[in-house]
A = this chain, B = another copy of it.
Amino acid sequence: MARVVVDVMLKPEILDPQGQAVQRALPRLGFDGIADVRQGKRFELDVEGPVDDAALARIHEMAETFLANTVIEDFTVKVES
């Protein structure tokens, strides 16, 4: 079964308090040299049938209408080998 990954991240101009919390905690934990952290969501979809252009268009629409809030979030759709 083919796997398609949808990554959803806050747009760069949107404040990311989760990512900031992680970034600020790192030096305390002994990890330096990380200038910025952004935290987002990863969806792994197991797709029945072939992942052709029609299936990808459907998944794109699904991501746009349901998985991501496109007012504040960007998303990418990738087929995993």
Contacts and interface: CB of A to CB of B under 8 A. Distances in A.
A11 interface: no
A29 interface: yes
A45 B39 contact: no
Given A9-B42, A42-B7, A43-B22, A35 B67 contact: no
B65 A29 contact: yes
Contact of A35 (B25, B40, B42, B46): B46
Contacts of A33: 47-49, 55, 58
Contact of A37 (B34, B43, B49): B43
A26 interface: yes
Interface of A: 1, 7, 9, 19, 22, 25-26, 29, 31, 33-49, 55, 58, 61-62, 65-67
